[in-house]
Chains A and B, each alone.
Chain A
C-alpha cells in the first residue's frame, strides 16, 4: 500500500538537486499543489483497493456467513451489506462519507471508525517510536562511520548495516522474543492492553519497536553514511577544511546540513516500510494495531474496512512525505 507513495521518494533520493528559494507565495502555491497531488494519488489508491478486494474470490457476505446458510440467506446478507450494487457506487458512497468522518460499517456491522479508533493511535505510537529510534541510531552510527572513512569503525558499521538491512522483520522479531522474553525473561513476550485500549506497560513496546527499527536502521545508516561521504567532496566543505575551521564545526555546520535532505528523504521512505512491517510485527507481538485489522479485513473481503485502513495509513505516509519535502526544501534553500 505504501508502494506508489514511497516510490516517488526513492527516486528523489537518487536524483537530488538543490532547489532555489522562491518567494513565500510561490512556496505556498507549490505546497498546495503538492498536497492536491498527494490527495489525488490517495484517492486513486483507494479506488484501486476497493476494486482489488472486489476481484478477490468470494465476497464479504460469503466470508462472514455461517456454514449452512442457504442461498437465500446469503442473498439477504449480500443485500444487507449492499453488495448487490456496483462496486463504484459503493465506493462513491463510502468516499463521500469520508470528509464527515464517516468511514462506513464493517462487514460484521461494527462502525469502522470504532474499529480503527484504538488500533490506529497504537500503530502510530509504535511506528513513531520506531522512526525516532531509526533516526537517532542511524544518524549516530552513520556519522560515527563517516568520521574516518575507510577506518575500522566505518567498515564494521557499514558491513553490519548491510547485513541487518537484509533481515526481514519477522526474523528479527522472533529472535527478540526468544532471547529477551522466553530465555532471559527480561521483557514481556507480547503486548496486552488495558481498559483504555493502550498497551498495559511501556516495557511491552520495547521489543516491537526494536523489531521494526532494526532493519530500517540498516538501510538508513547506509544512506547517512553515503550522503556524508558525498557531501565531504563538496567544494564548500573542502574550503571550510582548508580555512582551518575546527572539525566538529565543519561537521555540524557544513557537512550535516548538506546531507540533511538526503537523510530526510531516506527516513521518509522508511515510514512506508515501517507501517508495512507493522503488519508482521504486530502479529508476532500481538500488538493491538491496525496491522491485524488489515489482515483480517482482507480475509473477510471487507472492502470498506481495507480502504479505511489504507486511507488512514496513506494519510499518515503522505503527511510524513510532505514533511520530508519541506525539510529538504528548507535545508537546501537555507544553504544557497
Chain B
C-alpha cells in the first residue's frame, strides 16, 4: 500500500549486501516443489497469513501462545536453543552443539559462535540461563522444561549452559525446540514487545497481531534472503485462503485441506504438503475399564477402516497410521507390517474377550483441531460393523482437558510433535510418564525404552527402538488410524519453504521470492 522511503532504503541495503553474498546454494531439502525457481535470490517482502485471534494475542515469548501468528513472529525474532530438523529431528539453532553425561541427566549446550542480539551485544550463557529460568517460572514451565528445576539451570563460562534433569532424559534437546526463546538478561516485563532477539529477522512494527519483520544482516545462522516478512493475522482459514487466492498474501500458513482442495485447480498456487503434521489417535484406556483387555483393543484396531478415515476425514491429505506414534521419526519402524481391516477377526477377538456388545460406549472428542470430531464420528460408524456400539460426545476444549483427558475410557487426542518415537515413549507411554494417556503399563516396553535411551552404540539403539515400536503396535492403548499433513498454500514466486511438520513451518529464514 504505502511504499515508504524505508522500503526504498531497504531495497538499497539489499543491493549493497548482495555484493557480499557468496553463492549460497540453499540446502536441498527446503527447496519448494513448484518451478524449482533456479538460484535463490535476495530481496523482496513475503506476506504471510497465519491463524490467530485478536483476543488471544500475546507478545511474551514464554507466554501461552494460542495464536500461530504470534508464534511465527516470535520464532522469527527470537532463537530457541534447538530447532526441528530434517535429517535429525533436532537441529542446532542458538545452541551450536550439545552433549550429555553418561547417565543422560546432565546436558551441556554450547552457544553458537558470533551469536548477537539485534542491538549488537553478544549472547552470553547468562542471557540463556536467565531466559530458561524465566520460561521455567511460567505456569506452563514444568511441562516446557520437563524434569529441569530452575536451580538446575546454570552457566558454565561465557558460552555453555548446563541443564541437570531430575531423571535420565535422552530427548531433552528435542524438548528445547519449541519454547526456549532467548532474550537478554533482565529484560523488563514491560519491554517484552520490543526486546531484541537473536533471530533471523528484527521486529519493525507490531500492531494488533500483525507485524513487519526486517532481515537481520548479522544472523549467526547464515544469510537471510528476504528483505522483510509481513505477518498478517487471520481469524479463519477461509478468509486466509481467500486472501491468497486474491493475491493479497503470498503464503497461507497451515491453512488446511479444505483450502487445498479449492486451490488444487489453480496453476498459479503451490500446495505445500508437510507430512506427519498432526496425529489424531483414539485412546483406549488400558489400565482399567472395558478396553483393559488387549484383545478388545486389538479388535478395535482391526475394525477401523484406515484408508477411508484418511480419505474422508483428511480429504486424502494424510497417511495411514500403524498404531505407532512418532511417524516422522527417522527411526520410525516402517518395516512392521501395516495393520489392515479384518472385521471377522475383530468379532472373534471381541467374543474371546467376552466384550459386552449390548452396551453403548462413549467416545469423547473436541473440535480443537480440524477433522478431530469427524474422525470420532466416522470411527463410531466403522466399528459398528464389528458389533461395537459407540456414541460420540463432543466437549468444549476446556471441559475436555479438565474432565476427560487422561481419565476417560475412550477419547480422541491430538499431537503436533510427530517426528520422535521416543518423545511419545517418554511422555505418554512409559509406565511412570506424567501424561500416560491410556494408563498403559507394560514392563517390556519400559525395558525397551530404557535400553533405547541408554544405548551406547547406534546399532543397539536401533534394535531397542524397533522393539519398543513393535510392543506399542501390538499392545498399547493407541489406535493411530492416520496422520494429517500440514498444508500451506503459496503463490508461485515463493521458494525455499520449509517442508517440516508441526512448528517446523515457521522456519522461513531460507525462503526467497523469484520476482
Identify the A interface with B (CB < 8 A). 56-59, 62-70, 73-74, 76-77, 80, 106, 108-110, 115, 118-119, 177, 181-182, 185, 188-190, 192-197, 200-201, 282-286, 288, 292-297, 299-302, 305
Contacts and interface: CB of A to CB of B under 8 A. Distances in A.
Given A292-B55, A293-B55, A63 B245 contact: no
B369 interface: no
21 contacts: A57-B399, A58-B402, A62-B401, A63-B397, A66-B64, A68-B140, A69-B140, A70-B142, A108-B56, A119-B208, A181-B242, A193-B232, A195-B207, A195-B212, A197-B207, A284-B239, A286-B234, A286-B240, A288-B208, A300-B55, A300-B66
Contact of A110 (B58, B143, B248): B58
6 A-B pairs with the lowest CB-CB distances in the bound complex, closest first: A58-B398, A296-B55, A296-B53, A68-B143, A189-B246, A286-B239
B243 interface: yes
Given A65-B140, A119-B54, A293-B55, A59 B398 contact: yes
Given A197-B208, A288-B54, A292-B55, 12 more contacts: A57-B399, A66-B64, A106-B55, A110-B58, A181-B246, A190-B234, A190-B240, A192-B249, A286-B243, A292-B235, A295-B55, A297-B55
A143 to B, nearest CB: 37
Nearest to B243: A190
Contact of A195 (B60, B205, B405, B434): B205
Contacts of B235: 282-283, 286, 292, 295-296
Given A109-B58, A195-B205, A292-B55, A286 B236 contact: yes
A50 B172 CA distance: 42
Report the contact-size class of chain B (Cβ under 8 Å from the partner).
35 or more
B63 A109 contact: yes
Contact of A188 (B56, B60, B246, B434): B246
Interface in B405-420: 405
Given A69-B140, A109-B63, A193 B56 contact: no
B208 A193 contact: yes
Contacts of B142: 69-70, 73
Contacts of A58: 396-399, 402
Interface string B134-168: 00000110111000000000000000000000000
B59 to A, nearest CB: 8
Contacts of A56: 396
Contact of B139 (A80, A115, A284, A297): A80
Contacts of A294: 55
B210 A193 contact: yes
Contacts of B72: none
A305 B55 CA distance: 8
Chain A at the B interface: SS class? loop
A301 B398 contact: yes
Contacts of A70: 142-143, 434
Contacts of A188: 246, 248
B325 interface: no
Interface of B: 1-2, 53-60, 63-64, 66, 139-140, 142-144, 205, 207-210, 212, 232, 234-236, 238-240, 242-243, 245-246, 248-249, 396-399, 401-402, 405, 434-435
A200 B208 CA distance: 14
A110 B57 contact: yes
A194 B243 contact: no
B66 to A, nearest CB: 7
A116 to B, nearest CB: 9
A65 B207 contact: no
Given A73-B139, A115-B54, A292-B53, A189 B245 contact: yes
Given A77-B139, A197-B207, A64 B66 contact: yes
A53 to B, nearest CB: 12
Most buried by B among A66, A181, A284: A66
B67 to A, nearest CB: 9
Contacts of A73: 139-140, 142-143
A235 B179 CA distance: 77
Contacts of B232: 192-193, 286
Nearest to A80: B139
A200 B1 contact: yes
A57 B398 contact: yes
A284 B238 contact: yes
Contacts of B397: 58, 63
Contacts of B234: 190, 286
Nearest to A110: B57
Contacts of A189: 239, 242-243, 245-246, 248
Nearest to A61: B139
Contacts of A80: 139
Nearest to B232: A192
Contacts of B59: 110
